[in-house]
């Protein structure tokens, strides 16, 4: 799940206190499993509207803006383009009618990936800025890529931890962001970058799973080394406001991402 408010921060949700149910040994509630659908009311019972369904609707201008932003990102954002090409090379080509849905969401969530429907949700009421939309799309496409390439089981907390680590590593924890927040300096960047990735992955897990922080930390630590080193399909940790995404897009052609 992507982060609310902006591409570098998130607001947690206390599922444990709200549900107050008995959890299994894995930390997931066996009586009332909650995989983050709370944030997406259109996912609960009703059939979600797909991208092109909304083009013919009479909903608010928010719908049109969301769709316009998504189209711009798909055509112009190098990270989004690279991830789409990578998924195509693995036999998972993106279809706008099928795989992207602009919806109203609760709280301050910007987007999410629904593995049941294999669909990315863009929260149109929380992603007015084009830059946020592109970051959300790239983040969720990372999950979709992992689902396609590695057959990630999102009910498995270790699988979830791995894909959240990869999304934070590839899309969020840049030096500029860490430096601006006071979390890193030129002398401790390597260590603080890993700390940033762990924190963001943990935050995302706690938002969508009824587990304790200790259980989330255990899952993140267990898979961290392997997943932190996995930079596919980008091949690098991109610096913000650099040419890294463009270079990664060009380099992707050598790996069949065209």
214 is catalytic: no
Rounded Cα distance between 252 and 90, Å, is 13
Hey, is 64 helix, strand or coil? helix
Closest CA to 255 of 136, 45, 90, 137: 90
Dihedral (C-alpha) 35, 153, 87, 3: value to the nearest 10 degrees? 30
Burial class (CB in 10 A: 0-12, 13-18, 19+), 235: middle
Which helix H or strand E contains 170, and what residues bound it?
helix 157-171
Catalytic residue among 140, 164, 214, 251: 140
Q: Beta strands 111-114 and 119-123: pairing type?
A: antiparallel
Rounded Cα distance between 166 and 41, Å, is 27
Radius of gyration of the chain (CA): 18
Positions marked active-site: 140
């Amino acid at each position: 799940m992507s982060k609310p408010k902006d591409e570098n921060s998130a607001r947690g949700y206390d599922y444990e206190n709200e549900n107050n149910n008995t959890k299994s040994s894995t930390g997931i509630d066996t009586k009332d499993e909650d995989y983050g659908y709370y944030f997406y009311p259109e996912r609960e019972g009703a059939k979600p509207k797909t991208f092109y369904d909304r083009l013919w609707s009479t909903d608010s201008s928010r719908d049109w803006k969301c769709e316009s932003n998504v189209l711009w990102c798909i055509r112009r954002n190098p990270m989004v383009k690279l991830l789409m090409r990578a998924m195509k090379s693995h036999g998972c080509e993106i279809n706008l009618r099928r795989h992207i849905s602009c919806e109203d969401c609760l709280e301050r969530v910007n987007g999410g990936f629904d593995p049941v429907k294999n669909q990315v949700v863009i929260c149109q009421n929380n992603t007015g800025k084009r830059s946020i939309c592109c970051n959300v799309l790239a983040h969720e496409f990372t999950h979709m890529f992992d689902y396609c390439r590695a057959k990630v089981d999102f009910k498995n907390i270790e699988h979830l931890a791995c894909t959240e680590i990869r999304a934070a590593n590839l899309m969020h924890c840049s030096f500029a962001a860490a430096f601006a927040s006071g979390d890193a300096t030129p002398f401790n960047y390597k260590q603080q970058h890993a700390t940033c990735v762990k924190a963001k992955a943990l935050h995302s897990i706690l938002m969508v799973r009824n587990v304790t922080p200790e259980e989330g930390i255990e899952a993140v630590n267990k898979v961290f080394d392997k997943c932190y080193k996995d930079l596919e399909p980008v091949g690098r940790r991109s610096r913000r406001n650099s040419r890294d995404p463009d270079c990664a897009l060009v380099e992707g052609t050598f790996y069949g991402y065209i």
